[in-house]
Chain A
Amino acid sequence: MTTLPNLTQKKLGLVIDLDTCVGCHACVISCKGWNTENYGAPLSDQNAYGADNSGTFLNRVHSFEVQPTGDEAAAQLIHFPKSCLHCEDAPCVTVCPTGASYKREEDGIVLVNEQDCIGCGLCAWACPYGARELDQAEGVMKKCTLCVDRIYNENLEEVDRVPTCVRTCPSGARHFGDLGDENSDVSKLVAERGGMDLMPEQGTKPVNKYLPPRPKDELPEFDVLAPFLEPVAQEAKGFLGWLDKTLEKL
């Protein structure tokens, strides 16, 4: 049934650290790899080696430039991985006409039963985050499963029982856990770093949280030689001075 559960026992999700993400796209590639070989229909590509290539991805990394206001601070470049946020009030679930989209009562993961999906695309319309993509080869909706086939998989070593994007991330920018449990590592991290929701005004109550970039350090003046160095000439003298004045008069 595509009504949402009133309460989920757990709120499994990701915490993404925008301060440490280096924008390497390793999570994108590992996600594509794992989810093409495992759960559900493969993530297809169209015209993969042609000029107009495109394909289905469950995770994409954007990059944003933020220009701090007020002072003359340097612009910051922030890499921004984006996948399904497994919202508590997931609008993608309730719009589904077939019951293919559902939110699991036991752990809050939002999934698509691909056998029931008619590929109407309405769930992708309802998602403000662009987390759902209609696979062009299969005609069904694909989305992040939070690697539901890894996290409970006892055939894998315990260290691997996390979403593949988390396992892959070389800079430790992705964390996985129960955000419903306030004593979990991820919940503590969110509390400590001021984790935030994306588009809170949309009312989706996302489970995944984003950790904002830490404020940039101010470097103190530490160069001991600087005071003794010749100051840079402010006014030109000699020939250049004459040239400057002459050009000014013209």
Chain B
Amino acid sequence: MHPAPSVIIFTTFSGLGFGLLFWLGIDPTPPTGWVAFVFWLIAYVMAVGGLLSSTFHLGRPERFLKAFSQWRSSWLSREGIAAVTTLVAMGLYGLGLVFFGTAWQPLGWLGALGALATVFTTSMIYTQMKTIPRWNMNLTPAMFMSYALAGGALLKGNITMAIVLLAIAGVVQVFTWVMGDKAFENSGTTMATATGLGNIGSVRAFEPPHTGTNYLMREFIHVVGRKHSQKLRIISVALGIIIPVVLLLLPIGHWIALIAVASHIAGVLASRWLFFAEAEHVVGLYYGKR
């Protein structure tokens, strides 16, 4: 798959933003006043910024309102509804904390639930794709959820929770890669099934339909950069998990926390780049490519 910057930024930052909103929503002693304002600002810049970024890959972004209509069948539609519900609930909750110093707790719980639902529905957009075997497994939502919860805890400053969740996210991430590497083979889709010619003999792509490229090849067949995937995996885990955990174990200060957050974001960005760049769509088989 083409690793479009818009979707990499979207999944990374909205995951972090909604992760932070979850922890803010369930906090029994939430911050108030200016402290609350800063927390909410960070969460909304990330969550809303990510969502806005995702609209850049739309062909007709001006029609985005229509995307809220098909919640019965479409995970993308469900995601939109979950995101807006969460942002409204947490917005009102934040309003109470920042300006009135009162916690309208049910709104916080609703927002926290909505934040989890948003990250889950985002992950299901990818998980549902049978055409992309690497994504089509239960580990995909687990990976998105664990990163969002860990990143949110890190941003919120729940140090113990952040350490535990980062460790879990790291384990889930490694499993996702290990299982993902076998997913295409296990899917049973091959050039033989794609063409139906397998019972005659071994099938080879002889001539593509055209000499140039096309939308399908640009979108689904991305081979550039995959050769560095092992190195990037190590960099991603080092930056996203190991460095933040080590920094959190040190006597913590705001600057160290900032470095931990920056490192984590860089690691998640690398992970998400790999998530798209390594994903292989079965349509590539028609072109003799993966």
Chain A residues packing against B (C-beta within 8 Å): 1-3, 18, 25, 28, 52-57, 60-69, 73, 76-78, 80, 82, 91, 93-100, 116-122, 124-130, 133-136, 138-141, 196-203, 210, 212-213
CB of B70 within 8 A of CB of A54, answer no
CB of B57 within 8 A of CB of A121, answer yes
B73 at the interface (CB under 8 A from A): yes
CB of B189 within 8 A of CB of A2, answer no
How far in angstroms is the closest Cβ of chain B from A96?
6
CB of A2 within 8 A of CB of B73, answer yes
How far in angstroms is the closest Cβ of chain A from B285?
9
CB of B212 within 8 A of CB of A52, answer yes
| A92 nearest CB neighbor, chain B only | B131
Considering the chains assembled together, what is the distance between the CA atoms of A62 and B206 in angstroms?
Answer: 8
B102 at the interface (CB under 8 A from A): no
Given the known inter-chain contacts A97-B74, A130-B286, please indicate yes or no for A124 contacting B214, CB distance below 8 A. Answer: no
Cβ contact of A197, chosen from B196, B197, B218, cutoff 8 A: B196
Chain A residues in 8 Å Cβ range of B227: none
Chain B residues in 8 Å Cβ range of A3: 72-73
Give the 6 A-B residue pairs with the shortest CB-CB distance, closest first: A119-B59, A139-B59, A60-B209, A130-B283, A98-B66, A68-B201
Q: What secondary structure prevails in chain B residues at the interface with A?
A: mixed
How far in angstroms is the closest Cβ of chain B from A221?
25
Chain A residues in 8 Å Cβ range of B60: 117-119, 139-140
Known: A64-B203, A134-B219. 8 other contacts (CB 8 A): A54-B212, A65-B203, A67-B204, A78-B195, A118-B60, A120-B58, A128-B189, A138-B59
Given the known inter-chain contacts A136-B215, A140-B60, please indicate yes or no for A97 contacting B70, CB distance below 8 A. Answer: yes
CB of B59 within 8 A of CB of A118, answer yes
| A3 nearest CB neighbor, chain B only | B73
CB of A64 within 8 A of CB of B63, answer no
Which of chain B's residues 199-218 have a Cβ closer than 8 Å to chain A? 199-210, 212-216, 218
